[in-house]
């Protein structure tokens, strides 16, 4: 998720907005998502825009699925 709309491209309105729980306990409605270019060879799809949050978060599971790879922590 990203709080910065300028970091996303191809921003689209969600047909069905979703609620996201923030660490402070508040729930905010996510109405847009877009693509986030991490580097020239890596663009993440369907990144939710959460302007009420002050950080960008990366889902390791979604990244691994998009890259068709496994992640192992030891």
- For residue 21, being part of any structural domain is answered with yes
pTM, two decimals, is 0.82
Q: Which residue reads 């990244």 in tokens?
A: 63
The reported pLDDT for the residue numbered 52 is 86
Distance CA 23, CA 65 (A): 25
pLDDT in tens, the chain (74 residues): 999 999 999 999 999 999 999 888 999 999 999 999 988 888 999 999 998 888 899 889 988 998 899 999 99
Q: What's the number of domains the chain is made of?
A: 1
DSSP secondary structure code for residue 6 in this structure: G
Residue 31 domain boundaries: 5-67
Q: What is the pLDDT of residue 23?
A: 87
- Does a structural domain hold residue 74? no
Q: Which residues contact 46 (CB under 8 A, 6 or more apart)?
A: 33, 35, 62
């Amino acid at each position: 998720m990203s709080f910065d709309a300028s970091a996303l491209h191809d921003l689209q309105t969600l047909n069905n907005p979703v609620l996201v729980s923030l660490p402070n306990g508040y729930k905010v409605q996510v109405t847009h998502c877009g693509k986030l270019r991490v580097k020239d060879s890596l663009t993440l799809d369907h990144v939710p825009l959460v302007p009420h949050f002050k950080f960008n978060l990366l889902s390791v599971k979604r990244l691994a699925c998009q890259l068709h790879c496994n992640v192992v922590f030891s």
